[in-house]
Structure 1
Amino acid sequence: MENTLYSYSPIIDRPKIVWPNGARVAFYVGLNVEHFEIGKPSTSIWEGTANLVPDPLNYGWRDYGVRVGIWRMIESFDKYGIRPSVLLNSDAAERYPQIIRAGKERNWTWLAHGKTNSMLHTDMAPAEERRFLIDVVETIAKATGQRPKGWMGPGLTETFETPRILKELGFAYVLDWTADDQPFALNLPGMISVPYSVELNDLGLFGAKSFTGEEFYRTIVDQFDQLFADGARSGRVMALALHPFVTGQAFRSKYLDKALDYIASHEGVWLTTSDEIAEHYLKNAGQSGSANDQPRALVEA
């Protein structure tokens, strides 16, 4: 089966992207605020107990993020003027009102991230999926006062119909397709993909790869330095994917702070949100839904 959602477009053949104020890199934090059901296996620090009910080891590890870790991370975000793009489960929107209140006070951006991270977004008929997505969107909008414009599925999951249904519900972009350093058009007019990362992602780096805090910091710096150099030719997006139960741990917090300080200290960086990246790209690219229809230049707004 061929991928018909988007067309092939090598980065060397595209029109130049110019971010506001001539920035080389548009940087945003993708902050995962999630709820996990106690009776279902999910993201685990030790698979040995993952299928037990209850599973205090793994459930407690995940629950640390919304109870403690996120509040430590907020201090760093505030220090550097970073407004996270929150990948929000609708169940989390209902269950953690203090987090929602903190985000509203700071003008965070809210994206739909499914209902719960104990449930992947798959195996639904179109009518069922539409009802499901309407409930997710309305729950998040009610809690945050902001109707989401962006989507990332739990575990970056979609059905083949998800982008079309999201478009009908007023969405402008998805994060699931981690195929690029720049936004790109889907073959669905008005819908784009905004870069996210499964590589520059604390869950993979600390979990699967067992990185130390220093290695995490070095990886972020190396990613930024290369994208900053690439951005001299055409603007790039740097997404830093974070989970409060991972980077919010006490012994890791200083490395996040150190990395954000490095990025924020550079001229030519747009500290922004995924919503603002999508809005700027759509406004200036004149998208018609096909990579082949992109104009030969993007001008600064």
Structure 2
Amino acid sequence: MNLPKHDRYDYVPLSKRPDYSWPDGKRLAVCFCNNIEVFGFLSGLGSDSASLTAPQTTRNYAWRDYGNRVGQWYLFDLLDEMQVPASHNLNSWLLDECPEIGERIKARGDEAVGHGRTNAERQDVLDEAGEAALIRECTDGIARHIGTPPAGWLGPYLAQTPVTLDLLKEAGYRYVMDWPADDQPFWMRTRSGPILSIPYSIELNDSPALVFRQQAARDFEDMIVDQFEEMLLQSAKWPLVFTVVLHPFIIGQPFRLRGLRRAMEKILARRDELWITTPGEIARYCASLPAGIIPGS
């Protein structure tokens, strides 16, 4: 039997990599990654609060729309209160539907990351021309609302075709977060040159944890704190990236937001030891390091 493989990166174990530090000698980078999405009404893809196989209904559309109408505004205020930057994985059509969200992102100086046109669709069902058009439309839409094109990409549902990385590099993207293979950045090969993979947790992520696995809000709070404390300990040996992944229609429910608040307070009590940043800043820093430091360079 021949095991199917890819040629995007080589295996380099953590224990065999060069050591380096983040700016100011910090060892743990901390990112709050938020997904702001728009869905079709009674059509397309979209999760449900009660059942993994539920059809698209008025109820689950409204549940998701709560995030853009209410939950995201609670989350913006919490980020302001905690004085932390965030990155926002944006469906470009969301900015057409809810332009005030884009205005708040610009006012905060947060990072906008490409996240497709809408989360009612996946890009891995498209041919190359169709996928290139989706990437281009998303990029142009975010640039129109935010003022600059996104440097990073996270596909809806983290879905990719065999040529996604090539198309993203050719569209001007510098990094992706669709490959949750590591706790450090690493360079990936494309037909037009390297693109950086930035860590993005699908474990410390409110959607699979709280919706798909139906875990409790306090479970997610404990997960955040345990992941942070262990990674802070491990970062004495090697530089790491800690990400918390959020969706405002999930974490923006007040009882869940309360747990996030407590977890953030525990993390930020160690603020002086951390590089609290965004994926884009991590990508810029990695690109500035000498060849041979970041795997794949």
TM-score (norm 1): 0.92
The alpha-carbon deviation at position 116 of structure 1 amounts to 0.6
Offset of 1:80 from its aligned partner?
1.7
- 1:32 pairs, out of 24, 32, 35, with 35
User: 2:168 maps to what in 1?
Assistant: 166
The 1:230/1:98 distance shift into structure 2, 3 A limit, reads same
CA distance in 2, matches of 1:203, 1:58: 14
2:88 is matched with which residue?
86
Deviation at 1:137, TM superposition (A): 0.5
Q: 2:74 aligns with which of 44, 56, 72?
A: 72
Stretch moving more, 101-110 or 13-22: 13-22
Per-residue CA distance 1:210-251 (angstroms, 9 max, x = gap): 333322211111100111111111110011100001110011
The 1:278/1:88 distance shift into structure 2, 3 A limit, reads same
State whether residues 49 and 58 of structure 1, in contact with CA within 8 Å, keep that contact through their aligned partners in structure 2: no
Unpaired runs of 5+ residues, structure 2, are none
Determine whether 1:153 maps to 2:158: no
Structure 2 residue 37 is matched with structure 1 residue 22: no
Native 8 Å contact 2:39 2:119 kept in 1: yes
Measured in 2, the distance between the counterparts of 1:194 and 1:235 equals 13
Q: State, as a whole percentage, how many aligned pairs show the same letter.
A: 34
The TM-score with structure 2 as length reference comes to 0.93
Shift of 1:39: 2.5
- Report the aligned-residue RMSD: 1.7
Aligned to 1:137: 139
The residue aligned with 1:244 is 248
Gaps in structure 1 of 5+ consecutive residues: 295-301
The equivalent residue for 2:237 is 233
Cα distance in 2 for partners of 1:263, 1:21 equals: 18
Q: Which amino acid aligns with 1:119?
A: E
Q: 1:18 to 1:90 in 2, by over 3 A?
A: same
On the 8 A contact 1:93/1:100 being kept in 2, the answer is yes
- Cα distance in structure 2, aligned partners of 1:190 and 1:280: 15
1:254 equivalent to 2:254? Answer no
Q: Which amino acid aligns with 2:127?
A: A
Which has the larger displacement, 159-168 or 110-119?
A: 159-168
In structure 2, what is the Cα distance between the partners aligned to 1:43 and 1:112?
Answer: 20
**C-alpha separation in 2, matches of 1:123 and 1:258:** 40
Contact 1:227 1:236 (8 Å CA) reproduced:
yes
Whether the aligned pair in 2 keeps the contact of 1:22 and 1:268 (CA below 8 Å) is no
| 2:274 corresponds to | 269
Q: Structure 1's 228 and 91: CA in aligned 2 closer, same or farther, altered over 3 A?
A: same
Which of the numbers 209, 221, 227 marks the counterpart of 1:217?
A: 221
CA contact 1:185–1:287 (8 Å) conserved in 2: no
> Which position in structure 2 is the counterpart of 1:298?
none
Q: How many residues align?
A: 290
Distance 1:48 1:12, change over 3 A: closer
Q: 1:225 to 1:49 in 2, by over 3 A?
A: closer
Q: Which residue in the other structure is 1:3 paired with?
A: 6
